[in-house]
């Protein structure tokens, strides 16, 4: 069930000043960096860089990620039965830039292999979470994608941290 609160029914104008301070506040919040990947209805691999990834529950094991509805890959995630989250190691932070670039050749460098569902998986990821689509919610200009984790693989490799618009090593 979705509870829509009264104040969400009208779009109140947001001042540039608040918008700027909101962006700065979010930039000062450190987060891990993920690539989220799937396959579209034509069988083409799709993916994007996401810092909006987080866990939602343990039983069942649920995670969520928020995807802008303007993203080119949005249609693929809107219909995908499953998708994959890869936690980026710091030494592959270059991929975060590639996957955040609209129109880039994201999978052309041979970094990915296909999983059982045919979706791209980065073998070098610090963690891979294979997810079945559980529920989707459109909120404002994003879609919240909730996935039920089906399988997890871990690799002992220090993760990338995104902080103040830059990629950092833990403790670096
Ligand atoms: C560090 C970083 C984190 C990002 N996190 C998100 C996110 O959580 N959700 C989102 O929709 N876009 C996010 N983006 C932007 C998308 O990765 C980017 O717009 C991407 O190109 C969208 O996919 P498309 O190429 O299919 O349009 C992020 C970008 C960067 C650099």
Element containing residue 103 per DSSP (H, E): none
The atom number, within ligand 1, closest to the CA of 165 reads: 1
pLDDT number for residue 8: 61
The predicted pLDDT at position 110 comes to 84
Number of helical (H) and strand (E) elements in the chain, helices listed first? 3, 12
- Relative to beta strand 34-39, strand 82-87 is antiparallel
Token pair, residue 98, equals 């590639």
Strand order in the sheet with 166-169: 31-32, 160-163, 166-169
Q: 66 C-alpha vs ligand 1 centroid, how far in Å?
A: 9
Please name the residue whose Cα sits nearest to atom 11 of ligand 1. Answer: 67
pLDDT at 5: 67
Q: How far apart are CA 76 and CA 132, in angstroms?
A: 14
pLDDT confidence of residue 12: 75
Identify the structural domains of the chain with CATH numbers, from first to last: 17-169 (2.30.110.10)
Supply the DSSP symbol for 76: H
Question: pLDDT tens digits for the chain (172 residues)?
Answer: 666 666 665 567 889 999 999 999 999 999 999 999 999 999 999 999 999 999 999 999 999 999 999 999 999 999 999 999 999 999 999 999 999 999 999 999 889 999 999 999 999 999 999 999 999 999 999 999 999 999 999 999 999 999 999 999 987 5
Q: Would you state the pLDDT for residue 9?
A: 53
Ligand 1 contacts (CB < 6 A) are 33, 48-52, 66-68, 71-73, 96, 99-102, 162
Q: Kindly report the CA angle at 45 between 41 and 50, in degrees rounded to 5? A: 110
Measured CA to CA, the distance from residue 69 to residue 147 in angstroms comes to 18
Residue closest by Cα to atom 29 of ligand 1: 100
């Amino acid at each position: 069930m979705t509870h829509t609160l009264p104040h969400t029914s009208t779009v109140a104008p947001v001042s540039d000043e608040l918008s700027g301070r909101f962006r700065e506040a979010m930039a000062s919040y450190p987060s891990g960096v993920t690539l989220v990947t799937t396959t579209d209805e034509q069988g083409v691999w799709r993916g994007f860089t996401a810092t909006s990834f987080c866990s939602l529950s343990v039983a069942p094991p649920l995670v969520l990620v928020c995807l802008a509805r303007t993203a080119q890959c949005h249609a693929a995630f809107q219909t995908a039965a499953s998708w994959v989250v890869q936690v980026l190691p710091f030494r592959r932070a270059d991929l975060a830039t590639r996957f955040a670039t609209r129109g880039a050749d994201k999978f052309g460098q041979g970094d990915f292999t296909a999983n059982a569902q045919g979706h791209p998986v980065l073998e070098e990821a610090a963690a891979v979470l294979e997810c079945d689509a559980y529920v989707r919610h459109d909120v404002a200009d994003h879609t919240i994608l909730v996935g039920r984790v089906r399988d997890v693989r871990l690799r002992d490799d220090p993760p990338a941290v995104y902080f103040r618009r830059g990629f950092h090593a833990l403790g670096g």
